[in-house]
Structure 1
Amino acid sequence: MSVHVISDDAEAVAVATVLADEFRAGASERDLARRLPHAEVDRLSASGLLAVTVPAEHGGADVRTRTLAEIFRLLGSADGSLAQIPQSHFVYVNVICRQGTPEQQKFFFAELLAGRRFGNAQSEAGTRHVQDIRTRLAPRPDGSYVLTGVKHYCTGALFADWIPVLARTEDDLLHVAYVARDTPGLTVVDDWDGMGQRTTASGTVRLDGVPVPADRVLPHHLTFEGPQLHGAVAQLLHAAIDAGIAGGALAQAAQFVRTKSRPWFESGVETAAEDPLLIQRFGELAVRVRASEALLREAARAVDAAHADLTDDTAAEASIAVAAAKVQAALTAVEVADALFELAGTRSALNALNLHRHWRDARTHTLHDPTRWKIQHIGRYVLNGTKPPRHGLL
């Protein structure tokens, strides 16, 4: 596969815009048939978008966080499933930037520039809570490790060249093991059965005595021992996907009303697009979408500012800004995707039109982590100056 290397922020957004338009055309059919987007993910790799956060000293564009968020918003506006697939990819690129040795960075950044993809194997089912990681990374006499465990909701693993696995060592400290997709003992099962985001292939990864060289393991626990933006960046990308889904749903609702809807007989107008009540509701929803996009940009700026001067205060401000953006985007995505049917009328409920994919994607994606806890952290910060906790979900 020939892989383009993107040079700067402007080119990254331009490439994402073109790909979003391309992906939008087939999004509904992929969702209806649950056709996994292998070709589309290959296009992402070949475009160079998956390497845009590689540092400049390693040959990458090293784009701003604001640019990365815009890439995800654009992709989310086209296909809420496809946009989700590279989210973990960039999260685990950040782990390498933060905790990788020079040798690890040299190796993996070259892999990224060559179009290689990261999946994820982080969440587990049946544990006490999301941070209760029971997958084990056991040492061997030669200094290497063996991985054992079962992971669920492993978005992107089926498409990945490398699968980053969250695991604990014998001292219970959290690490990330980067495991090649074809490693013996690693099995990816396509058993994702969600009502939304149907083509993310967020299935199961089984790890049965998987060998891992020592130089493929990074000490992720160190990420949270000082000021960090790991969680803020990860959550910002989720917010961008939600904002994209909202914008995409509003655009499709407007197109449907302009081209297929009939006016209500009491309105006295010739077309549905002239109905003053519909116009009012579209205006209300547009305000919510614009607010989501504005908060997304503000949060991305806060993260970029913290990157330039990382302290407890700047990291806290970035995390709170991202939390606010995530709350707004999640609420808006669900509201707009639901309102689509109110606006477009009875015909829009036809299953063959698949307009409900926006709502299914929004409702599924916004369950990733509860916004009620983000509101708690925002309130504590504003009222009492309490800094948010250091973890990967804020």
Structure 2
Amino acid sequence: MTQLTDLETSPLRASADGASASRASAGNLPEAQREELSLGADYEAVAAKFRSIFERIAATALEREHQRRLPHEEIDWLKQAGFGAVRVPRKYGGDGVSLPQLFELLIELSAADSNITQALRGHFAFVEDRLNQHATTDQSAWFARFVSGETAGNAWTEVGEVKVGDVNTRVQETPNGLVVNGEKFYTTGSIYADWLDVYAGRHSDDEPVIALVNRHQPGVTISDDWDGFGQRTTGSGTTVFENAAVDAENITVFTDRFRYQTAFYQLVHLATLAGITEAALSEFAQQARARKRVFSHGSSEQWSQDPLVQQVVGVASSQSFAARATAIRAAESAQDAYLARFSAVAGLEGAVEEEQRANQRAELESAQGQVVIIDLALDATSKLFNALSASAASEAKALDRYWRNARTVSSHNPVIFKQRIVGDWAINGTELPYAWAIGAQKNSTAE
């Protein structure tokens, strides 16, 4: 069991002193190197480029929900506008936003359609890995792809009889080059993507690797067979690889993956939940404002002036505020981990130790945020129905989609286990896990 020092186990000092150390060390980097980083941008200027697209996406979200229509066109709008490159440094044609700014943008997108945010989750994680790899190797070719509108999807979760920690998907050497064979589920966003971020085992030595596979080839088949009751259009179905070609330069060892990736993936869910809560608040408030019918035993002759209705919406508004604030605050630690990587590679004094602490803070605070935001989102999207009446249950309105979507997002990365590891940290100073796996028990057969 690894334990952290008193400095690292103090919640206040871990958040304040540690974050200051990361930012200070990044400030000691040469100016030329700082230009290679994504340190932040004028948020309103960046957001203004996409808000009209968000509005168009929101305008057809209910229609897509009813028809279960995948948002290919809507995601293309974002690609063409450069949304997938907002984290790319300005030097390489992106917007250079910080991680808190990225997640604030994702909250706005989630308020328009939370399915699209989740569909882009794998892409932004892949971009983040390229940003970290840029500390040691030139990633300008990938940056150019992102700026041109190319995106990546996720292909990590194994299908079939696989034990925890094992992987059936393989990268193999053939006379015609390297190929990938296997089957994955929960391949969120892959159906919209140009590249697939594939977790696999290298056949020659069983080393876990990441294979970056071009999605536009005959050896890749993607099915929209996700049948969840929420987040219905994320494209989280099955992907099959049959001798799918992959270039040797696009194979990386998994342990080289950016260290705060688990935190990053969770932060996308936090932003998604915050956006769902904001969207639900906005729609229920609008319908309460427009409602004309009242009850004889109500508290006002006008529905919008009823203090009990106002109370319900007021609580949800406060929950929405808290969810947004928590998600953005948790992202600050991930930004510190990003900066700490470059300081450590540059060999600045104490930077290696600070990078380790920064990665732990990022994981801890994303988990703490998860524990809190899930309850905020689920409570708000359920109790807001008290601000209307039975007409809110209309299938035509589909107001239940907010709760269904929040419940579905909340089911990822089970919060009960995150609650435990946060408690273990608070009591014992135990490090949070960098990565984890899912599968059958080692002594059983998978169902």
TM-score by length of 1: 0.90
Mapped to 1, the partners of 2:183 and 2:292 lie a distance apart of 48
Where do 1:174-185 residues align within 5 Å? 174-185=208-219
Stretches of structure 2 lacking an aligned partner (at least 5 in a row): 1-39, 341-353, 438-447
Query: Who is 2:74 aligned against?
Result: 40
Q: Contact conserved, 2:378 with 2:406, CA < 8 A, in 1?
A: yes
Residues 276 and 10 (structure 1), Cα distance of their counterparts in 2 relative to 1, 3 Å cut: closer
The corresponding residue for 1:3 is none
Q: Which is higher, the Rg of structure 1 or of structure 2? A: 2
Gaps spanning 5+ residues in structure 1: where? 1-5
Match of 2:442 in 1: none
Q: How far apart are residue 83 of structure 1 and its match?
A: 1.7
Partner of 1:20: 54
For residues 325 and 81 of structure 1, the distance between their equivalents in structure 2, rounded to whole angstroms, comes to 20
Tell me the alpha carbon deviations over residues 97-155 of structure 1, each in whole angstroms, 9 at most, x when there is no partner: 2347977722221111111111121112335577543211123467x422111011211
Distance 1:90 1:377, change over 3 A: same
Q: Check if 1:165 corresponds to 2:209.
A: no
**CA shift for structure 1 position 267:** 2.2
Asked whether the equivalents of residues 53 and 61 of structure 1 are also in contact (C-alpha less than 8 Å), the reply is: yes
| Letter matched to residue 207 of structure 2 | L
Q: Residue type matched to 1:327 in 2?
A: V
The alignment status of 1:221 with 2:255, answered yes or no, reads yes
CA distance in 2, matches of 1:301, 1:101: 20
| RMSD, aligned α-carbons | 2.3
Q: Distance in 1 between matches of 2:288 and 2:296?
A: 15
Equivalent in 185, 205, 214 of residue 152 of structure 1: 185
Amino acid at match of 1:241: T
Render the CA deviation track for 1:360-380: whole Å, top value 9, x for unaligned: 211112111111111112212
Q: Distance in 1 between matches of 2:123 and 2:310?
A: 40
Against the structure 1 CA distance between its residues 179 and 124, is the aligned structure 2 distance closer, same or farther, given a 3 Å change threshold?
Answer: same
Equivalent in 312, 337, 348 of residue 306 of structure 1: 337
Q: Per-residue deviation at 1:197?
A: 1.1
Select 2:237's aligned residue among 191, 203, 207. Answer: 203
Q: Aligned to 1:332, what secondary structure does the other structure show?
A: helix
- Which stretch has the larger CA shift, 345-354 or 19-28? 19-28
Alignment-derived partner of residue 142 in structure 2? 108
Q: Match for residue 103 of structure 2?
A: 69
Residue of structure 2 in register with 1:257 after alignment: 288
**C-alpha displacement of 1:177:** 1.2
Partner residue in 1 for 2:86: 52
| Equivalences for residues 315-334 of structure 1 within 5 A | 315-334=359-378
Q: Which has the higher contact order (CA 8 A, sep 6+)?
A: 2
The 1:302/1:261 distance shift into structure 2, 3 A limit, reads farther
1:372 equivalenced with 2:416 (yes/no): yes
Task: Tell me the distance in 1 between the aligned counterparts of 2:164 and 2:75.
Answer: 28
Do the aligned partners of 2:313 and 2:384 also contact (CA within 8 Å) in 1?
no
Is the alpha carbon distance of 1:264 and 1:320 closer, same or farther for their aligned partners in structure 2, counting shifts above 3 Å?
A: farther
Which one is further off, 71-80 or 276-285? Answer: 276-285
**Partner of residue 11, structure 1:** 45
Q: Does 1:189 align with 2:223?
A: yes
How much does 1:56 deviate? 3.6
Aligned pairs for 1:326-365 (under 5 A) are: 326-365=370-409
What is the letter of the counterpart of residue 20 of structure 1? F
Q: Distance in 2 between matches of 1:313 and 1:60?
A: 29
Q: CA deviation at 1:40?
A: 0.5
Secondary structure of the residue that 2:105 maps to in structure 1?
Answer: helix
Shift of 1:72: 0.9
Partner in structure 1 of residue 321 of structure 2? 290
SS at match of 2:435: coil
Deviates more, 1:261-270 or 1:238-247: 261-270
SS of the residue corresponding to residue 264 of structure 1 reads: coil
**Pick from 378, 381, 390: which aligns with 2:425?**
381
Tell me if 1:117 matches 2:148: no
* Cα separation, 1, equivalents of 2:56 and 2:145: 26
Q: Which is worse superposed, 11-20 or 211-220?
A: 11-20
Distance apart, 1:261 and its partner CA: 5.8
Give distance in 1, aligned partners of 2:295 and 2:68.
36
- 2:427 maps to a residue whose letter is L
| In 2: Cα distance, 1:115 partner to 1:347 partner | 42
Is the 8 Å Cα contact of residues 8 and 61 (structure 1) preserved in structure 2? no
Percent sequence identity over matched residues?
34
Gap change, CA 1:388 and 1:127, over 3 Å in 2: farther
